[in-house]
Every structure is written in C-alpha cells, then in structure tokens.
Amino acid sequence: MAENQSNANGSLMTYDEHVPEIKFTKLFINGEFVDSVKGSTFETKDPRNGRVVARVAEGDKEDVDLAVNAARQAFDHGPWPRMPGYQKGRIMSKFADLIEENIDELAALDTIDAGKLFSVGKARDIPRAAMLLRYYAGAADKIHGEVLKMSRELHGYTLREPVGVIGHIIPWNFPTGMFFMKVAPALAAGCTMIMKPAEQTPLSALFCAHLAKKAGAPDGVINVVTGFGPTAGAAISSHMDIDMVSFTASTEVGCKVMQAAATSNLKQVSLELGGKSPLIVFDDADLDTATDLALAGVTYNKGEVCVAGSRVYVQEAIYEDFERKLVAKAEAWPVGDPFDPKVQQGPQVDKKQFEKILSYIEHGKREGATLLTGGERLGTEGYYIQPTIFTNVKEDNVIVRDEIFGPVMSLMKFKTTEEVIKRANDTRYGLAAGILTKNIDLANTVSRSIRAGIIWINCYFAFDNDCPYGGYKMRGFGRDFGLDALHKYLQVKSIVTPIYNSPWL
C-alpha cells in the first residue's frame, strides 16, 4: 500500500515518543488502588508490536464482591445519591476539567492499549468524553417527576430515583469513550457503580478512576475491577447485590449476561450489542462523497466499531464507477503506526481479533466472493490488516451475515428501492444504516422502512450527545446518549394520597 512506510526488516515504522508511563495497574475499590485478593495479574499488550506494556491486577469474584460492597455502602449510606444535583454537577464538571488536562496521556493509553489513532484521540475521542460528562453534569439538577391528573379523588405524583448499584461491562474498541458513555449518565442519576473494562484495554479506565477521586467523587461511587469476562464479568452479571448491568460487546456474550441477570436477582439489563450495518448508495449520489464515506465506514477505528458500514449496496447505474473509485482510494489508504499523524488506520486490538479477521477473509475467498483489494497482513509485526473489499457476494455468505469487526467490506449491486430495503433488513442486527441520495422523498421512504436504531442520511458516524443511540432486533435494548441514557439509570416511583378521607378508596 503506497502510504505505508516499512523498516528494512519489513516491519512498519513505529513512533514511540508519545508512549506514556503506566501509572495505575491495580484494582480501584472504595477510593483506593489495591491488589487483587489472589494477587493475580495479566498482561496488556501494545498491538503495534505485540509487546507487553504492563501487568494489570486480575480481578475475580472475590474482588467483585469487595467492589459491590463498597458501591452498596456508598449508595445506601453515602452522600452521592442524596447530594443535590448541582453539587453532583460540580464534581462531574471538575472531572471533565481533569480529563481535558490529561488529554495527551489518555489518548496515548488508548493508542498503546487498543491501537487507536493518537490524533483522533486527542482531537475527538477524549474531548468528547469531557463534553459528555458536562452534558450529564448539566442534567444532574434537572431530574424530576410529574404531578399526575388522576381519574379518581386522588392526588398523585411521581419521583425519579436512581436505580442503585450498576455493573458496567465495556468493550475494547473505544476504551475511554465507552467508560464515559456508561459512567456519565449513571453518575448524574445518583447511582454508584462497578466498571469492568475489557481485558485487552484496562489502562484508561484505571487512569479515569484516579481522576474521578481527584475531582471529588466520594469513595465507593466508582470502582474499577480489571479482569476477564468469564470470571469478573460473570460475577457482575450474576451478583445478587447489583441492581442493573449495562453491557456493551458481542450479541453472544450479551445473551449470557441477560441469562445471568435473570437467574440471579432479575436485575435490570441494558444491552448494546453487535451490528452489520448497510450503507445504501443511490444512483444520484455524489461519487466522491459516497466512496469517501463508504471507505471511512469500514476503516474507521480499523473497522472495530459496531456501526461499521460493512454491507455497501450501490445502485447498478453507478456501480462500476463507484467500484473503481473505491478500490483506488482503498489502495492509497494510510495504514501504520497510530502515533503517526499521517496514518488513518492503526492495528487491530490484539492477536486474537487480528486472526479472526484474517480467517473471515479466507472464508470469503472459499465462498467464491471476488477479492477486489486488500486481504493481507501489513508488516511483519503488530496486527495490521489492509482495507479489504469483496464483491460478487451473496446475502447468505458468512462475510455478509457475521459481524467481522475489522476493515472488511462486502460490496453489492442493487436495482430497485424495494429490493435494497428488503436486503438491508435481512440481518439479525438492527443498529445503524446510511442512505446516500439527493432525493429527499427517497431518503424519507427508505429511512422509515429500515429497521435500525439510527439512520444517517448523506453522512455517517454522525453522533451527538443529544441523539439516542441503540438498536433493534438482536442488537439489544436500551439507549446511550441523550436523556434516554439518563432515564435508564432512574426508576419511577408513584406517590398517591386521597384528596379527602373516603372509605371506598
């Protein structure tokens, strides 16, 4: 690929001047960094080269018990749920200030832990995390119920109260962003919590816990237990003293989380799961814009994003021109060290994900799909994969059905609007979709016909703090962002009194 630079040994060039010192590797429980009960640790590796950057405390059931106890004490007896909203908002705003003061370090931690672009972390991911904190800080003193117009001789009103102790389980693709997507609205609601970051990317969550304490969050309000899904994650999902679990990752694991929640204490569940989103390009779309969005839709964050536009449908009149432009842009796409400001795509998060993506590419070849470009590893170390585009695929092909979570696109041709709506909806997921057309009537028709939680018209990845985010079908349920996210961490209590004494009430 033309934009990649290699050393003499064939490995991609690395930029190490931004690599931070790793300061926090222990569990964070009740306001303190502590070793795990068993003293176990695990390695976290730099996906640029596969080298170990730190050993992190490995939490297990006993550690989850300690964290839950701290969160329960903080909820039942501590100040946070009872604190006036404006005071919570002040602490959350201070937390946001500290995030902004440490942008470089947080962005660098996500780069060496997840392979994320350092430039994007500095300019977008970390600043948006601070903005999200401020968004919900502003909502913390605006939580209220309503007076009810009762149909009988009763006076009724509602209260919105925090759910209680929350168990957050987040994935590895947006470590800092996902941390605050869960923590910010839960804090504003008055909840206390246990956060389990993905075992691939524990570093930024521990750093954020340090900043939360520095901002003035009371002990026990935020606890971070690093560890593995089958142990620490399972202990959170099945814990009898956790009131709600908020989970983001695969659909397969989400089903296990829901089952554990149901068979324990029937705790509330919010699931943000897989996706296989369609991008539909009609024949009146601008080709340059469309090919730019299509390529970004599958290479952004190296394709490790649940809303990746991995199924691209192009109307037949412009298909050949679209394919030619798209392939040329993909072959010039800069892949390399994520600290390099010229690079647009870094390494996959770890060896397991890297090998999974390559196995899907081989599966696509075996199923008879045509590989237009890419499909290979880049360099001799690290987990870099070329942007990969298949055509001549069928709707029942594995690469079309499964969420690959990598820079792999299935490019398909369609004739009619009715046809593409049917094909776009032919998926077990229903998270996002993109529609590219200049015809507003067509855009309105298709957007109302696709069963997905968010539809982008003539844009993609257009997120906003005010815009609820979630999906349909096996995508899960519950919404992040907006007031919908705040409300899922609140429950409604109804208060009813008689207007006058009446024996028949």
Q: Cite the active site residues.
A: 272, 306
Indicate the residue type of 25: T
Q: Please state, in angstroms and rounded to a whole number, the distance separating the CA atoms of residues 114 and 239.
A: 29
Taken as a whole, the chain contains a residue count of 505
Q: Please state, in angstroms and rounded to a whole number, the distance separating the CA atoms of residues 424 and 431.
A: 11
Q: Please state, in angstroms and rounded to a whole number, the distance separating the CA atoms of residues 454 and 84.
A: 34
Q: What are phi and psi of 203, to 5 degrees?
A: -70, -45
Strand order in the sheet with 490-498: 147-148, 154-162, 490-498
Helices first, then strands: H and E counts in the chain: 16, 24
Q: How many angstroms from the chain centroid is the CA of residue 253?
A: 15
Task: Give percent helix, percent strand, percent coil of the chain, each to the nearest 5.
Answer: 40, 20, 40
Closest CA to 502 of 154, 162, 246, 216: 154
Q: Please state, in angstroms and rounded to a whole number, the distance separating the CA atoms of residues 175 and 105.
A: 13
Greatest alpha-carbon span in the chain: 91
Q: What are phi and psi of 88, to 5 degrees?
A: -60, -45
Q: Please state, in angstroms and rounded to a whole number, the distance separating the CA atoms of residues 108 and 85.
A: 33
Three-class SS state of 25: coil
Indicate the residue type of 357: I
Q: Please state, in angstroms and rounded to a whole number, the distance separating the CA atoms of residues 63 and 45.
A: 23
DSSP run (H or E) holding 465: none
Q: What is the torsion angle, in degrees rounded to the nearest 10, for the CA atoms of residue 78, residue 83, residue 87 and residue 90? A: 50
